[in-house]
Structure 1
Amino acid sequence: MVVSIISFLIAITILILTPGFDTALVLRTSAVNGWRKAAMTALGINMGCLVWGTAVGFGLGALLLASELAYNLIKIAGAAYLLWLGLGLLWRPRSVLVAPQADTHRRRGYGAFFMKGFLGNLLNPKVGVFYISFLPQFIPADASVALWSIAMATTHVVIGLSWSAVLIASTHYFAGHLRRPAVMKVMDRLTGLVFIGFAASLALSRR
């Protein structure tokens, strides 16, 4: 059991540190919208992981392996969502921030950032397939699959949020420079291209 736990911690830490859509989204949100909304985005991303881990633990994730239709439907929805985010950043890059006093829907705003991260992971069937193939390797024989899957997904969330905090802190240090109008436009467009690239990769992926 100890070997399984240590092996899982090493593997999941390497996975989290590998740059991907989650990293790009947190960095961009932190630089442009501030650390609070970046924290909500990171929370949404990790809650998506927790939902996938729970689904796998109770056998629901196996539907992605058993049903080509279910996998493709989620894949198309996820790719379309990433494409929509990417195109929005390309067409409407921001050059100024809305003043806090003008934000009359602050609560809804934070919820929107949470949902952006949450849907980004929830609509990615590759996360579910990854959990299905990854988590069982570290579950001891005769142990509860559901409990271990949820426990490992929770561990993934804790480490993921810790890494997100590091990313947010690093961008906060350079926030003044990153929020210059010209820099914001370039950052939005580059992030948009990255999101479109992830959308294409997801749409063309196979199980």
Structure 2
Amino acid sequence: MSTTQYLALLGLWVAGIVSPGPDILVILRNAFLSSRGKAMLTALGVMIGNIIWITLSLTGVTVVINQNEVLKLTIQIAGALFLAWLGYGSIRSALAAKANARRSPETARASAPGGAVPGSDEAAPSPATVEAAEQIPEPAYSARGSGVLGTKNLTGFRAVVQGIITNLSNAKAIVFFIALFASVVPANALWWESMLVAVLLFVVGLAWFCAVAWFGSVPALAARFQAHSVGVELVAGVVFLAVSVLLLGEAALSW
């Protein structure tokens, strides 16, 4: 392969990975609601998924999948259902956190001895009552869902898994990688040239997604989004569901 071909490949690759999609969304969600380290590991997971697609493309497997309509539709539907599950989990967590926050004043009043509320028409509470009420901890509500796909108590392993599954769930990657390699990488490329292509794409992709993770986890920015975690999860859930609906729509039209 010539230098021009490598540069053309990298240009098309960069144009593809910088486009907003589920990969960037899941990295930013974990950056906003978890930590920089977990977001970086999510980015690594995304690139592990991409290197799987790259390997399948270089070995011709994606071409076989693209030519088999049933297999292609199966992968697309499975990916769409996963994204729908991810979106549903985000929305459910956000709505649960919102409901808990709405109930917090009632919970605080019920927890205070005698249920008296300062400033009401009832008798003023005794100093002991006020002191007891002040000792009741303020509930910390969060929209961060638990489980493999959530951000609550997110472990490094789960962060990597989230990145891998989110990337592999996008069946449109099949078409992207076929077009990418068919237009630039020659069919008679040597084995070491194919290896170099895979390494270059992995390094550039990892650098980009790690940059996204770093930016999303800047303390001042992350603190603002954590303060509005319900909104973050709601937006993420709606976007995941929208992508899922589009994928299912494409699958139905191509049937």
Partner of 2:84: 83
CA distance, structure 2, for counterparts of residue 192 and residue 79 of structure 1: 13
Match of 2:211 in 1: 166
Q: How far apart in 1 are the matches of 2:69 and 2:187?
A: 29
Which structure's CA Rg is the greater one? Answer: 2
Structure 1 residues 97 and 204: CA distance shift in structure 2, 3 A:
closer
> SS of the residue aligned with 1:19?
coil
| Structure 1 runs not aligned, ≥5 long | 99-105
Aligned to 1:195: 240
Aligned to 1:101: none
Q: Equivalent residues in 2 for 1:91-170 (5 A)? A: 91-93=92-94, 95-96=141-142, 109-140=155-186, 142-144=188-190, 147-170=192-215
Residue 177 in structure 1 maps to residue 224 in structure 2: yes
Matched residue, 1:39: 40
Contact residue 135 and residue 149 of structure 1 kept, 8 A: no
The answer on whether the counterparts of 2:27 and 2:212 sit within 8 Å (CA) in structure 1 is yes
Q: Which one is further off, 11-20 or 66-75? A: 11-20
The answer on whether the counterparts of 2:143 and 2:233 sit within 8 Å (CA) in structure 1 is no
- Quote the Cα distance in structure 2 between the aligned partners of 1:42 and 1:201: 24
Distance 1:150 1:97 in 2: 42
CA apart distance, 1:55: 1.1
Contact 1:53–1:149 under 8 Å retained in 2:
no
Q: In structure 2, list runs of 5 or more residues that go unmatched.
A: 98-140, 145-152
Q: Residue 179 of structure 1: CA displacement?
A: 1.4
1:120 partner letter: T
> Does the 8 A contact of 1:31 with 1:172 survive in 2?
yes
Counterpart contact for 1:65–1:71, Cα < 8 Å: yes
Q: Is the 8 A contact 1:49 1:153 kept in 2?
A: no
Q: Which residue of 1 aligns with 2:105?
A: none
Compute the RMSD of aligned alpha carbons.
Answer: 2.3
Structure 1 or 2: more helix by fraction: 1
Letter of the structure 1 residue corresponding to residue 44 of structure 2: L
Q: What letter is aligned with 2:164?
A: F
Matched position secondary structure for 2:155: helix
| Structure 1 runs of 4+ with >4 Å offset | 146-150
Separation in 2, partners of 1:23, 1:44: 12
Aligned to 1:18: 19
1:92 counterpart SS class: helix
Q: Which 10-residue stretch deviates more, 150-159 or 13-22? A: 150-159
Q: Distance in 2 between matches of 1:189 and 1:149?
A: 41
**Which segment is superposed worse, 11-20 or 146-155?**
146-155
Count of aligned pairs: 197
**231, 237, 240: which one pairs with 1:186?**
231
CA shift, 1:169, in A, is 2.1
Shift of 1:84: 0.3
Percent identity, aligned pairs only?
26
**Quick one: which amino acid aligns to residue 81 of structure 1?**
F
Cα distance in structure 1, aligned partners of 2:88 and 2:209:
25
Residue aligned with 2:60, SS: coil
The whole-number CA distance in structure 1 between the counterparts of 2:3 and 2:68 is 35
Aligned CA distance change for structure 1 residues 148 and 52 (closer, same or farther; 3 Å): farther
Query: Any conservation in 1 of the 2:83–2:169 contact (CA below 8 Å)?
Result: no
Q: Which amino acid aligns with 1:195?
A: F
Structure 2 length as normaliser, TM-score? 0.70
